[in-house]
Amino acid sequence: MAHYQHEQEGDSHELRSTHYQPYNHQQYQHPARIQQHNAFGDDSDSEDEHQQHPAPDDQAPPEFDVYKDFNNSGVRYTTLLHGTADDSKHEHHGDHQSSGKTPHVAAEKALRDRDDDDAAGSFIGAPASPSTSHARLQPGLMPKPSTRKGRLAQLKSGKNRWKIGSVIAFLIIACVGVVVFLLVPRQPFISFENPPTLVRKEENNLVFSAKDPTRFSFDATLDIVLDGRTSYLPTLVRDFRAIVSDLGVTSGTIQVAKSKRAMAFTASTRNLTPLTTDVHFEYSAKLPSDNLWQTWRQACGNIAESTKNGTITRPSLQLVVLVQFSVVGMLGTKSDSTQINNVGCPAELPAGAPSY
């Protein structure tokens, strides 16, 4: 029991008003000096009684002084947070540097090392915390300036790549648009420089009949010029047809002729494209008194019989020429029309033909 109390006294430290009594290793050599202590840590019967302390030993380590500790010139109160006794405080005092570590300092250092080992072992195998605040408190995980600069550089490079990609996409779209603009064919139109004309044929199979059915028919040639210079590439025209209608007799148009056959050709992009197509005129009415039939009968009369004082008195015609065709590379049927005025009849009745 005495030995147990001896160990308890050896491990305890008695804090006085201004001095700290370090561990005295000589107590292990003199167990007889150990006294029975009460609950207040001494052998007195009351906490008011004066405590008895052994005489200071010359070989004992220096005592702790709070004023020296505040001025960084004395022994530290504890070495758990500030290292061993051989720290910067003892560097200014040569008398303390020569002294070795006391058993109390060694015990505190062993306790601190054991706590560090336990703390390190407790983190082995523990899962990493996803908390960003814990990561920010660790110096090793703090983002370095070079890392932040690298991220900024990556962000800038990403923006630059987006800008470069946008420019490249714009250039590609522009090039495709230019190519499409150049390659897409354009519709040719009837030239206004050379209006269409009707030409009489020698073998025209002319027929004017007042019998039932009242009708007329003959063949002629239509000369027409197309303008395909608006296209950058030659335009392939298919199924070209012409339709001729009368415009002067009624308020509307009445078809009187159309092409015999469809044509296919290539419209030039540098010059006008002249065309000649055969058209067949044909019209039927119920009575010879029909206005359209009478107009065409007079317009196609014999020229010699219709000349008076050197002037041909045959009436002229007001016609509309409509062309319909398809273009390779374009959808649907294209068309264009023009009006021709004061047109002479492309046919002539023989002399002595009856007039109705």
Burial class (CB in 10 A: 0-12, 13-18, 19+), 162: exposed
- The model's pTM: 0.53
DSSP code at position 225: E
| Of 6-20, 252-266, 283-297, 333-347, minimum mean pLDDT range | 6-20
CA–CA separation, 302 and 307 (whole Å): 9
Q: pLDDT of 252-304, one tens digit each?
A: 899 999 999 999 999 998 999 999 999 999 999 988 889 999 999 999 999 88
CA–CA separation, 259 and 344 (whole Å): 19
CA–CA separation, 255 and 54 (whole Å): 144
Q: Which amino acid is at 139?
A: P
Domain 189-343, classified CATH 3.40.50, yes or no: no
pLDDT value at residue 77: 64
CA–CA separation, 198 and 208 (whole Å): 19
Do the Cβ atoms of 266 and 236 come closer than 8 Å? Answer: yes
Do the Cβ atoms of 42 and 51 come closer than 8 Å? Answer: yes
Q: What average pLDDT does the structure give for the chain?
A: 73
pLDDT value at residue 323: 95
Q: Hey, what long-range contacts does 26-29 have (CB within 8 A, 24 or more apart)?
A: 26/57
pLDDT value at residue 218: 96
pLDDT value at residue 348: 92
| Closest-CA residue to 21 (of 41, 46, 2) | 41
Q: pLDDT of 231-257, one tens digit each?
A: 888 999 999 999 999 998 888 899 999
Domain ranges of the chain: 2-43+56-122, 189-343
